A and B are shown apart, each in its own frame.
Chain A
């Protein structure tokens, strides 16, 4: 049940996507998000989905994982879609009318577009964490943000916090599972009962979870100090990131794909 959450998990591999320079992956992912929201026509969205599918295929990540990571946020997607469905007003006659609820053609279009967008967004960002180990990813984040260090922003510390947070997601999920089992063994009603009963039933799970999270944080801080960790200043790296020809080539291909997707805007307007 809880094990289905795959956000932030890493699936090691040696595909092109896996070995691509993480900074480029990060950049491409961010651009992808921007492009997703700028491509406001079905053709552009379809193209961005195709691009995503191609990347997943190249990374050899089974598509089953996408459905699994989407499952927990499905309610959010459904909620957004339904809101859009009712709140977008169109120029033409409403398709459906019930008291004050009116659904226009534009509403349906926009709701579908939005749902697909959010799904693509999750799947796209998941690909980044699936193919990049948290350690490498933070390294990339740190490098990309390093200019901000001049403004006295603690870039290294922020990156380290992110790594630790990512690293502990699976651990805490496992811990939650264990605690839930222990409380279920004592007769706690975690999977049935009314809403208030269920919320109350969470207390015996959340308290031990918080305590254990604090304990882990404490132990981790101690372990880091024991290994003489003292922040990012003057820290050198074992593996220095380097962009090779292949990395630049991949970036070029992705940028070309983005340009293509964005060009559909003009195309769509001409057609319409």
Chain B
């Protein structure tokens, strides 16, 4: 597998050269494999948003390079739009970017900018709407009549309709009720599974990361603190807690159990895995007792 996104010594300084310059990213190098589902976590101000804004060239690196599909995206600044279509970006609270008179037209905005023909645009709009669970009869309605969660879905569909190879989402579930959160995230996961698109998901919820991501990138103080498979990262719970982050609630319980003297694995991060671990531990205990 080849790296679809790669950063090489990426540094970003806001207001570079001015006295109030602040460094937001420092020497960040990492690579995302095609088809991965990567969760990005980090406390506020750790540089997550700055990092993801580099992937589609909304920000230009102060130094270092950003490679998408093996190409330096800033090799020719005039070509930047090509990478914007390749890396679909869903910003925080994306429902505030809706502007068209109908849901259909709003979702079609991205594909239209790509210069596709009407039939292709129509196919993409309908496919994206379906993925995001937008009923066909909503397409002709004004996006402003919809509820918050529905608007969010329309905004996400607007990015999906560009059929990017990489989908970057900045807290797509922020401010939604628990049901809305689950729906949106599982739709994204489903989309990932069915299309094989690489997904980068920024989230503050460890539960969400644990449930949906394959890999986790932990940002801390403008640098990458950890970047590994989900179980390996959550196994380093004490370090995560030190960074001011939390671990999923199940992991917390297992850490507590270990602390209480139980012989049990602590790299547990999802419910089904927890059940298996508990059963295995019980089995072991029975075996010991049997002897």
Contacts and interface: CB of A to CB of B under 8 A. Distances in A.
Chain B CB count within 10 A is highest, among A175, A182, A185, A207, for: A185
Contacts of A204: 97, 99, 109
Chain A CB count within 10 A is highest, among B58, B88, B99, B158, for: B99
Contacts of A264: none
A188 to B, nearest CB: 6
Interface in B37-95: 53, 56, 58, 78, 81, 84-85, 88-89, 91, 94
Interface in B80-131: 81, 84-85, 88-89, 91, 94, 96-99, 109-110, 113-114
A187 B162 contact: yes
A182 B162 CA distance: 14
A181 B94 contact: no
A212 B96 contact: yes
A184 B84 contact: yes
B110 A181 contact: no
A181 B113 contact: no
Interface residues of B, number: 25
A179 B159 CA distance: 14
B144 interface: yes
A12 interface: no
Interface string A203-225: 11001100110000000000000
A185 B109 contact: no
Nearest to B101: A207
Contacts of B96: 175, 178-179, 182, 208, 211-212
B18 interface: yes
A64 B18 contact: yes
Given A186-B158, A208-B99, A181 B53 contact: yes
A218 to B, nearest CB: 14
B99 A181 contact: no
Interface in A162-209: 175, 178-179, 181-189, 192, 203-204, 207-208
A192 B84 CA distance: 15
A182 B53 CA distance: 10
Nearest to B89: A185
Give the interface size bracket for A toward B: 20 to 34
A188 B81 CA distance: 9
A179 B97 CA distance: 6
B152 to A, nearest CB: 13
A140 to B, nearest CB: 28
Given A62-B19, A186-B159, A188-B113, A181 B85 contact: no
Given A178-B91, A208-B98, A185 B113 contact: no
Q: What is the interface of chain A mostly: helix, strand, loop, or mixed?
A: helix
A183 B81 CA distance: 12
A184 B84 CA distance: 8
Contact of B110 (A178, A186, A203): A186
Given A204-B99, A204-B109, A208-B98, A185 B81 contact: no
A80 to B, nearest CB: 29
Given A182-B91, A185-B159, A208 B81 contact: no
B94 A182 contact: yes
Contacts of A185: 56, 58, 84, 88-89, 91, 159
Nearest to A207: B99
Given A64-B18, A182-B91, A211-B144, A187 B113 contact: yes
Contacts of A212: 96
Contacts of B99: 203-204, 207-208
Chain A CB count within 10 A is highest, among B96, B110, B144, for: B96
Contacts of B114: 187
Nearest to B97: A182
B85 to A, nearest CB: 6
Contacts of B88: 185
Contacts of A183: 97, 109
A175 B97 CA distance: 10
Contacts of B162: 186-187
A60 B18 CA distance: 16
Contacts of B158: 186
A56 to B, nearest CB: 16
Contact of A187 (B53, B97, B110): B110
Interface in B142-195: 144, 158-159, 162
Nearest to B88: A185
A66 to B, nearest CB: 14
Interface string A95-109: 000000000000000
Contacts of B53: 181
A45 B210 CA distance: 67
Contacts of B56: 185
Given A183-B109, A203-B99, 9 more contacts: A175-B96, A185-B58, A186-B109, A187-B84, A187-B114, A188-B109, A208-B96, A208-B97, A211-B96
Shortest beta-carbon contacts, A-B, top 9: A187-B113, A207-B99, A182-B97, A185-B89, A186-B110, A182-B91, A204-B99, A181-B58, A208-B99
